[in-house]
Amino acid sequence: MDMDVRNQFTIQEMIDQLIKLDPQNTTPQEAIPPKILQKSANLFSSPLTEFFNELVVKSTFPDDLKLADISSL
């Protein structure tokens, strides 16, 4: 299944989004903290870009990524 190149994420777009993460946000214990993702954006950007582009090609979104940890203030 071919995907229109215009719909693909680029590595630079992924880096830009990782850098924008709020390092003060808390994450579940098993998740990678935003501060680590920010500081390692160049390392994580390529595999994450490939992963998200594959999701777009397959037109799927994993159930695990649909979950959210919500806390009231």
What pLDDT is stored for residue 5 in this prediction? 59
What pLDDT is stored for residue 53 in this prediction? 93
What SS3 class is residue 22? coil
User: Is there a contact between 6 and 29 (Cβ–Cβ < 8 Å)?
Assistant: no
What pLDDT is stored for residue 25 in this prediction? 85
What pLDDT is stored for residue 21 in this prediction? 92
Position 43, amino acid: L
Q: What is the pTM of this model?
A: 0.72
What pLDDT is stored for residue 4 in this prediction? 58
pLDDT along the chain (73 residues), means of 10: 68 95 86 93 96 88 75 63
